[in-house]
Amino acid sequence: MNGKFWGKIAISAVILGLGMYAFNTFSTTPIAKILLPPVEASATAQDLKDSVILSRSEIAVQEKGHLNRAAFAIENNSKHDIKNIKIICTVLDNAGGEQGRDKWVVYDTIKAHANGVFSYTSKMYVSNRATSSQCRIVDMEIAKPPLFAIHRGKTEGQGGGHQPTEDAMHGGTHN
């Protein structure tokens, strides 16, 4: 019995110990907890959580074909235009256990003090044990005004071309 033999025994013992630990962890923890880590909201979503509200969310799944339809109503009561709103929906069974999660992104811009209603259809697998869902906004961006705007001027004469205004030539915007 040389050093290689004892080295193999030590490695086998470590692997066996890790295997037992993993088995014990997986057998006592629901698989959904392992595969679905907690969702953290971004700093922007935290800052605007009281003024940007997901006022309605609805998810419907057709059993045949697994077509998933989602509809969201968002109220933007903040002073900022917002865009790229990420919504996470957790699908639950009758007992309230997580059966999965889905993410939708609203790429449209919702103006300050305005509302938006959005609907999506996608094909995805959703557990047949799912009976309800809980949705929340986890991220969004504050929309910034464009750096420059294109303004169309009136053409004059027969061959008159486009004559940009002073503001358009220097990237100015009109409100």
* Chain segment 43-57, per-residue pLDDT in tens: 888 888 899 999 999
CA angle 163, 164, 167 (to 5 degrees): 155
- Closest by CA position to 134, among listed 170, 101, 104: 101
Residue 132 and residue 107 in contact, taking contact as beta carbons nearer than 8 Å? no
Confidence band (pLDDT; 50, 70, 90) for 72?
very high
Report the top-level CATH class of 40-142. mainly beta
The average pLDDT across 13-31 equals 78
Residue with tokens 């059966």: 99
> Tens digits of per-residue pLDDT, 98-127?
777 888 899 999 999 999 999 888 776 666
Q: Provide the β-strand partners of residue 83.
A: 141
Domain boundaries, the chain: 3-32, 40-142
